[in-house]
Chains A and B, each alone.
Chain A
């Protein structure tokens, strides 16, 4: 990788900025994809029908609203799609508004519209949950809420962001619990540490000065940038020698976790970037036959990011074809088949779609030629064999047709049955292929390459820069061991005072409210860390919403489900700890 590679993300941002800039987008081009007048009019009719649905819904004319919905569904199907996610979200939002006004009948009608426009949309489930809650139907509310979150996990982009948030939550919880564990060690063993430090220089200084110097020695890292974290590390190193074997092991694991975090986050950042760029939304929606408002501008962003990519070009052709702009699509497919550097196998889908184009026009011999090329390029492409069978049938070459059909059935029996059931016209009997969408994996990989950091380690300095956090962790381990070995020669203060402290914490409330304290007093490092980790993880789950990546939805239930879960979990933990503490006390 060269230095230029490091600027790629910046260049990408610049490109995105230009594309997204409102003034920079050419209206006539609608984001760069040339649309024919009939397609524009169809899109306009969607917009118009939506406005009429809005009016009818607000006026309570559900019959008119239903008719407009039917109109939207028809146009959407005509444009090669099945769903309208933006309109579904807006309809669900209307449902919420009606429920707020106490009009639950209209709210249900809006929800029904949302379901018709895009069934399985998370926003619809969330709205249904809110409406059910407003009606006092808590069982339904919880059920719809769960279905909403499941729907979120089913969408690749949302799932990726959810997993990224999960990783962040784990790291936050581990590191925060590690910091608090160091604090717990300070609480239980700090007296001994203080004593040992103070006695090193108390004879020449006197007690008061020794105390002050010891306090300064303990808290000086707070003056550094990110001082609290340095304080944690400093204390953990000093206290390492005072810990039991399990406590030392926990500290080492925490240091290593801190050292490994940058590498884990660097890996995560690429996947996050991939989930956040507009093309990710485009890929998600097109794969699910969703026609959303920004589809054309998102495609233009994708073309700006990967201008040379044949997959993106084929994706554009697929979109033209779906919208019914066959001539535009044919030109692009033809260009794709003529690229000399393209592997023959990758041209199979383009050849198939060209075959479909000529089949639709009644040019069956030409169609046979294209389908044959497609089948030669990719013998496993069932659509090519199926198209061949259909074209041969039109040419009365029934033997060849049967042979091709048999091959298609052998490759994909279920799909062939479905195509046979749907193909009710001669022109439409050949089946097109979404070649671009088929190579979404490669497309994602190509996008990921844009954000990939240079991996080559040109010099030891590069190596140091890359792994300095991990080096720091290893350094901490060595430092802690070294201090321990030196201190052992001088002698550690025994845990005399700490044992006294352990005995004095008899209050079950203190034991229950200070996570890990009881275990720390017994020097059970793993249990103490676990005792801290559990409530920390619960608390972090409640606040992750405002700290992590937001889900790309129009609305959701807000923070209350996570907060409720967190509170229930914390209460459960507290009650359990109280019970255990009571049993121990009694």
Chain B
């Protein structure tokens, strides 16, 4: 077990799932208060050494939550709850729970159990939040109900896997910790939270999971390894689940790749909660009504509490059940060991290739970016022709200006560039052809060339003919004109 350390966290739930925040808190064995501000509510969760001890919501007080649980359990009637609540709000000393115990309405064990169920229920609710902000305040002074058995993050996440699944980014089933597992070569660098920093490339595991990973050698069962490490059953099970998700371990023996198809995986997480599924029940069965919450194994009480438990823990909807079954089927055919570099880098690599391709397309033939399809060739050619026409007009304006200065057209297009009349970018053909320029001083011709091949029909020819400012023939015609004959009356 790692030592408790100070931790300060804050951020946005859009960029990281809350389950991961909880794992970080657990791996640091941090004490303090985590506040989560969602769209509709604000929840404060108190931690002692990385485990949850209370959870209080702004819009749902602890007393309301406890009262609801106790009423569902049949321990407290509605009238009793209303009276006690009124008295408590009227200024009764101590906590609401103390008041209930003092009045003999409930014994302390039932109160603590109700508090625990309420806390779990609230935590499962906020695990589904996709938007909001979180902040963790480190601090040793955390108040909670005496005798409250802390809820470990692993325990919470086990419930989350079972009841919420993909809604909170936790896919697959819980594994059977009575099986034996062994390490497999990791597909990426394995990093340990609180030991290797708080972020970076790699597969992140907690210190407890690290211990588990190092000792799973295919000989001992995971449960035995967990016991030797001093882990609770829930921690062992969730740790194993996490390692399997990242393909860091694999089951040994027949049917190893599909955990729990016919096994009671749910039986593994009952110790801390006092939950125990009946023998032979399938863990993946969404009808959690069979789950017991009373270690005393009293049949009548158990049946009532099973019903209550199912309601409190928000059993999945029929749609979710179907989706989960479908997912389980696909899990049976899943590709092994895809948690590595390939999955991590294939997307970015393809994206880079695409960006390079788009840039190349833009440079080679810009109009193909606007009109990419083969049937748009005519329209593409029209745009190219019009842009080319504007290039030729630009050249002509510059060349005529050059002519007004030098009395002849430039010998090369480079002369126009060097005299500052055009720039290189003005001379770029839209289809990427080279411009060949030829002049006989009084006219010029621009032809297009691709490599050594002349492109016929796309060039331009201009002359000074018809331009009274530069046309020498016009000049000579006017100079030689006869003086007008003037008739006098």
Q: Is the CB of A195 within 8 A of B473?
A: no
Question: How far does the alpha carbon of A298 sit from the alpha carbon of B92 in the complex, in Å?
Answer: 100
Q: Which residues of chain B are near A90, meaning CB under 8 Å?
A: 401, 404-405
**Which of A325-333, A377-385, A499-507 contacts its partner?**
A499-507
Does B73 count as interface, using CB distance less than 8 angstroms?
A: no
Does A109 interact with chain B (Cβ within 8 Å)?
no
Q: Which residue of B lies closest to A225 (CB)?
A: B374
Q: Judge whether A111 is part of the interface by a CB distance below 8 angstroms.
A: no
Chosen A-B contacts, 12 in total, with CB atoms closer than 8 Å, are A27-B474, A37-B478, A180-B354, A191-B347, A231-B357, A297-B466, A297-B467, A494-B171, A499-B169, A500-B204, A550-B387, A550-B394
Q: A202-B333, A293-B469, A469-B373 are in contact. Are A195 and B351 (CB under 8 A)?
A: no
Query: Chain B 327-363, CB within 8 Å of chain A: the 1/0 string?
Result: 1001001111111001110111011101101101110
Q: Are A276 and B386 in contact (CB under 8 A)?
A: yes
- B451: interface (CB < 8 Å): no
CB nearest neighbor in B for A193:
B347
Given A25-B463, A272-B386, A491-B327, 11 further pairs, Cβ under 8 A: A47-B474, A86-B401, A183-B351, A193-B347, A207-B336, A262-B371, A269-B379, A297-B466, A495-B169, A504-B199, A550-B393
Selecting from A302-310, A312-320, A554-562, the interface stretch reads A554-562
Please tell me if the beta carbons of A522 and B14 are within 8 angstroms of each other in the complex: yes
A43 near B366 (CB under 8 angstroms)?
A: no
Chain B residues closer than 8 Å to A30, beta-carbon distance? 466, 468, 474
Evaluate contact between B351 and A176: CB separation under 8 angstroms.
no
Is A166 located at the chain interface by the 8 A CB criterion?
A: no
Q: Which residues of A contact B428 (CB under 8 A)?
A: 546-547
Instruction: Decide yes or no: A22 and B461 within 8 Å by CB, A37-B482, A187-B348, A469-B376 being known contacts.
Output: yes
Judge whether B468 and A296 touch: CB under 8 Å: yes
A503-B199 in contact (CB<8A): yes
CB-CB under 8 A from A297, the residues of chain B are 465-467
Nearest CB in chain B to that of A204: its residue? B333
How far is A230 from B338 in the complex, measured between Cα atoms in Å?
A: 28
**Which 10 residue pairs spanning A and B have beta carbons closest together?**
A190-B347, A22-B463, A44-B478, A229-B372, A297-B466, A293-B467, A293-B469, A546-B425, A187-B351, A90-B404
Contact residue among A44, A93, A548 (Cβ-Cβ distance under 8 Å from B421)? A93
Q: Does B272 touch A at the CB level, under 8 Å? A: no
**A182-B200 Cα distance, complex, nearest whole Å:** 25
Contact between B16 and A503, CB atoms less than 8 A apart: yes
A186 to B426, CA, bound (A): 36
Q: 1/0 contact trace for B298-342 toward A, CB 8 Å? A: 000000000000000000000000010011001001111111001
Structural contact, B343 and A171, CB atoms closer than 8 A: no
Given A189-B347, A262-B371, A549-B386, residue A46 in contact with residue B484 (CB < 8 A):
no
Docked CA distance A31–B466 (Å) = 6
Residues on A with C-beta less than 8 A from B470 are: 47, 293
Mostly, the B contact residues are helix
CB nearest neighbor in A for B429 = A546
- Flag whether B462 is at the interface (Cβ < 8 A): yes
CB of B198, distance to nearest CB on chain A (Å) = 9
Residues of chain B whose beta carbon lies under 8 Å from any beta carbon of chain A: 12, 14-17, 20, 166, 169, 171, 199-204, 245, 323, 326-327, 330, 333-339, 342-344, 346-348, 350-352, 354-355, 357-358, 360-362, 366, 368-376, 379, 382-383, 386-387, 389-391, 393-394, 397-398, 400-402, 404-405, 419-423, 425-426, 428, 430, 443, 461-463, 465-471, 473-475, 477-479, 481-482, 484
Q: Report yes or no: A180 in contact with B394, Cβ–Cβ below 8 A.
A: no
Please name all residues of chain A whose beta carbon is closer than 8 Å to the beta carbon of B204 when the two chains form the complex. 500
Contact with B along A456-473 (1 / 0, CB 8 A): 000000000100110010
State whether A552 and B465 are in contact (beta carbons under 8 Å apart), knowing that A491-B323, A506-B200 are contacts in the complex. no
Q: What is the CA–CA distance of A193 and B346 in the complex, to the nearest angstrom?
A: 10
Separation of A93 and B366 alpha carbons in the complex (Å): 32
Contacts of A203-232 to chain B: CB distance below 8 A: 203, 207, 210-211, 215, 218-219, 222, 225-232
By beta carbon, the residue of chain A nearest B357 is A228
* Residues 74 to 127 of chain A near chain B (Cβ within 8 Å): 86-87, 89-90, 93-94, 96-97, 100
Query: A551 interface residue, CB < 8 Å from B?
Result: yes
A149 at the interface (CB under 8 A from B): no
Chain A residues lying within 8 Å of B342, measured Cβ to Cβ, are 194, 211
How distant is the Cα of A499 from the Cα of B343 in the complex, in angstroms? 12
Q: In the bound complex, how far is the Cα of B478 from the Cα of A219, in angstroms?
A: 70
User: Which positions 7-33 of chain A face chain B at CB distance < 8 Å?
Assistant: 20-22, 25, 27-28, 30-31
Contact present for A555 and B401 (CB under 8 Å): yes
The answer to the question of A41 belonging to the interface, with a C-beta cut-off of 8 Å to chain B, is yes
Q: Which residues on the A side are within 8 Å of B373 (C-beta)?
A: 226, 229, 469, 472
Q: How far, in angstroms, from A294 to B372 measured CA to CA in the complex?
A: 39
Q: Is the CB of B481 within 8 A of A558?
A: no
Measured CA separation A323–B339 after assembly (Å): 84
How far is the CB of A380 from the nearest CB of chain B, in Å? 37
Check A43/B368 contact, CB under 8 A, given A20-B461, A186-B350, A494-B166: no
Q: How far is the CA of A94 from the CA of B402 in the complex (A)?
A: 10
Partner of B202, one of A504, A523, A553: A504
The smallest beta-carbon distance between B248 and chain A, in angstroms, is 14
In the assembled complex, how far is the CB of residue A557 from the closest CB belonging to chain B, in whole angstroms? 9
Taken together as a complex, chains A and B put the C-alpha atoms of A20 and B368 apart, in Å, by: 30
- Cα–Cα distance between A194 and B346 once the two chains are bound (Å): 8
A261 and B370 within 8 A (CB): yes
Which chain A residues lie closer than 8 Å to B346 at the CB level? 190-191, 194, 215
State A396–B361 Cα separation when bound (angstroms): 77
Q: Is A496 on the interface with B (CB-CB < 8 A)?
A: yes
Expressed in whole angstroms, the Cα–Cα distance for A124 and B277 within the complex equals 91
A87 touching B404 by the CB < 8 A rule? yes
Task: Tell me if A400 is interfacial: C-beta within 8 Å of chain B.
Answer: no
Check A347 for interface membership: any CB of B closer than 8 A.
no
